[in-house]
Amino acid sequence: MGETVLHRLNHVELRNTVRQLFGESATAALRDSVDPRVQGFDSNADALTVSESGVDSLMRMAGEIAAGLDLPAALPCGALAGRACAEQRFSIMAPRLLRRPPLPAETQSYLALWDEVVSRTNEDTATRALLQRLLMAPEFLYHVQVGDAEGLLNGYELAARLAFFAVESTPDDALLQAAGSGALDTASGLQAALERLLEDSRGQAAFLRFFEQWAELDKLGAAVKEPAVYPEFDALKAPMAEEFRRFVADLLGRDGTVKELFTSPTTFVNEGLAVLYGVSAPVAGFQSVSLPAGQRAGILTQTAFLASHGKANKSAPILRGRFIREQVLCAPVPPPPPNANTVEANAQVPSTTREYYAQLTSGPDCIGCHAQLNPLGFALEGFDGIGRARAQENAQPVDTSGAITAGDLAGPVSGAFELSARLGESATVRLCLAKQMFRSRFRRVEVGGDEALIQSVADALRGEGDRIKGLARLWAGQAAMRRRHFRVQLPTEGSQ
């Protein structure tokens, strides 16, 4: 059906929400945790289940936040006291935590809790108990989208969807006010709210995190290289990640294009990366530099990608090819057979990494899939396992001939520079990015009925000037954004 089920906030959304509502110090109540990923993203609804231990953790979190809050500073009462103060504080807390005004019955129930606790303790304890209950409310911990009988979201539900879509956090006061005033009911009002969120620092951070997950940047932190082969790697891991983040942040900050993502002739380096790239070193810290002409362009030639998709002692054309097939072209291949990674004992000893993997994958059980993977990775053989450019390997010339094996621009390519240029022009790449954002922001894997909608967004991207942020603008402008289940309603037989 393509329906998004009720699911909890992931840990990033929860941390962002707690920080937004209660300040950075309150996030100490959250324990570091990693959510399961589906197709690279940690927002998939079906994977965000809650275990018994997870419930205990959420209860502890709510108690610690409530216990640690400076009530007079966070929830001032002015001259009010007693229950009147409690009502004032509830009127401040409830809309922010429930992401909508409380219903009369809810107000009565919550304040009844305050009455019960204050009768046997004190006002401070009763207020903290009230806050803890709000923090355990399903409306706080889950994405709740009910809608009307036709499935249309009301203004507050739409505000919550827009906020988690754009900034991975709860609606701020301005967005809640827009929901209450009806400003989000019009397309122009919704777009104005989206633009404000995208330009907010939280919007920039959310977009950057989308690209970090899409690019599998976490693999860089887990990468291990042999010190005898790449002695400089450990010192460069953090700068490599920082380069990627600065590159993407700069691209988003100036509303850059999809083409630039793959073909930009500049990047950001510190002294160590400058040596690796063979460019002039900055005086201090990071600075923007021009890349060697005809050699590097865009993210696929950056060390963060090349090193994270490299082996401990050599390059990894299969890993690099798989990434391009699955993440850039959305053309996955089946998993390897059980007997993968074996070479015949009497096989000729290869002299280059390319020869090694060509030999390794030449068997009849392997070649069908690897004919789709290897040519993409072979085009990047001009870079070693940490992304250093090379023309030779083991005194043999490096062969960078390859091919794009899927999509509208499929065909031979020679080297990373040409590969990146072709991908930067590809309509298939834009379709895949639209699909990746759908998976990330609407929290599910696409089904057949979604394909036409995803295609329409990709087609419209040119009209947005090919701007990367145009994907967010186009998705937010879809009529399905306003519906309970973000899906395409397929026509029934006989309908027009």
- The domain ranges of the chain are 7-144, 213-425
- Domain 7-144: CATH architecture, name and number where available: Orthogonal Bundle (1.10)
Over residues 176-203, the pLDDT tens digits come to 999 999 999 999 999 999 999 999 999 9
- Higher-pLDDT residue of 221, 344: 221
Instruction: Please determine, for residue 1, whether its predicted confidence score (pLDDT) is greater than 90.
Output: no
Residues 63 and 132 sit within 8 Å (Cβ to Cβ): yes
Lowest-pLDDT choice from 17-21, 28-32, 63-67, 411-415: 28-32
* Best CA proximity match to 171, nearest among 104, 98, 122: 98
pLDDT at residue 265 is higher than 50: yes
pLDDT tens track for 475-490: 998 888 888 765 433 3
Most confident of 242-246, 438-442, 477-481: 242-246
Mean pLDDT, residues 221-239: 96
